[in-house]
Amino acid sequence: MKRFAPVAIPGVLGALLTQSGCANPSISVVDPTGPVGRAQLNLIYLATGIMTLVTVVVAVIYIYVVFRFRERPGQTHIPEQVEGSKKLEILWTVIPIVLLVILAVPTITTTLNIDRKPAPDDAIRINVVGYQYWWGFEYPGAGVTTANEVHIPTGQKVKFIMKAHDVIHAFWVPSLGGKQDLSPGKNTRLILQADKPGVYEGKCTELCGAGHALMNFRVIAHPPDEFDAWIRSRKKPDSRGKSVMAREGQKLVAQNCIGCHAIRNAGYRVLGKKGPDLTAFSERTRIAGVIDNNDKNLTAWLKNPHAVKPGNRMPAFDHLSDKQIRAIVRYLRELKGSS
Ligand code: HEC
Ligand SMILES: [Cu+2]
Q: Examine the pLDDT at 33 and tell me if it is beyond 60.
A: yes
The residue whose CA has the least distance to atom 17 of ligand 1 is 288
Q: Residues 209-265: pLDDT tens digits?
A: 999 999 999 999 999 999 999 999 999 999 998 899 999 999 999 999 999 999 999
* Domains detected in the chain: 2-73+81-116 (1.10.287.90), 124-235 (2.60.40.420), 244-332 (2.60.40.420)
With a 6 Å cutoff on the Cβ, whether 328 touches ligand 1 is yes
What average pLDDT does range 124-142 have in this prediction?
96
Task: Write down the mean pLDDT value for the chain.
Answer: 90
Tell me the C-alpha to C-alpha distance, in Å, between residue 145 and each of 69, 102, 148, 177, 271.
70, 44, 11, 23, 11
pLDDT bucket at 113, cuts 50 / 70 / 90: confident
Cβ-proximal residues to 27 (8 Å cutoff; 6+ apart), any chain: 174, 175, 200, 201, 203
What is the total residue count of the chain? 339
Cβ-proximal residues to 170 (8 Å cutoff; 6+ apart), any chain: 178, 179, 180, 181, 182, 204, 205, 206
**Distance, CA 182 to ligand 2 centroid (Å)?**
9
**Distance, CA 178 to ligand 1 centroid (Å)?**
28
With a 6 Å cutoff on the Cβ, whether 309 touches ligand 1 is yes
With a 6 Å cutoff on the Cβ, whether 36 touches ligand 1 is no
Q: Where are the alpha helices (DSSP H) in the chain?
A: 5-19, 35-68, 86-116, 224-235, 244-256, 295-303, 305-308, 322-332
With a 6 Å cutoff on the Cβ, whether 230 touches ligand 1 is no
- Residue 319: the pLDDT is 95
Q: Residues 292-339: pLDDT tens digits?
A: 999 999 999 999 999 999 999 999 999 999 999 999 999 999 999 987
Report the alpha-carbon angle 180-184-190, nearest 5.
25
Q: Examine the pLDDT at 23 and tell me if it is beyond 90.
A: no
Higher pLDDT, residue 30 or 319: 319
Q: b/e per residue, 285-304, with b = 16+ CB within 10 A? A: ebbbbbbebeeebbebbbbe
Q: What is the largest CA-CA distance in the chain?
A: 99
Distance of alpha carbon 325 from alpha carbon 339, whole angstroms: 27
**Among 216, 314, 331, 332, residue to substitute to test ligand 1 (most atoms within 8 Å of Cβ):** 314
Residue percentage of the chain with pLDDT more than 90: 78
Residue pair 196/152 in contact (Cβ under 8 Å)? The answer is no
Residue pair 165/129 in contact (Cβ under 8 Å)? The answer is yes
pLDDT bucket at 19, cuts 50 / 70 / 90: very low
Q: Examine the pLDDT at 5 and tell me if it is beyond 70.
A: no
The residue whose CA has the least distance to atom 14 of ligand 1 is 275
Q: Examine the pLDDT at 67 and tell me if it is beyond 50.
A: yes
Which ligand 1 atom sits nearest the alpha carbon of residue 311? 18
- Residue 290: the pLDDT is 95
Residue pair 324/303 in contact (Cβ under 8 Å)? The answer is no
Other CB atoms closer than 10 Å to residue 208's CB: what's the count?
21
Q: Residues 197-212: pLDDT tens digits?
A: 999 999 999 999 999 9
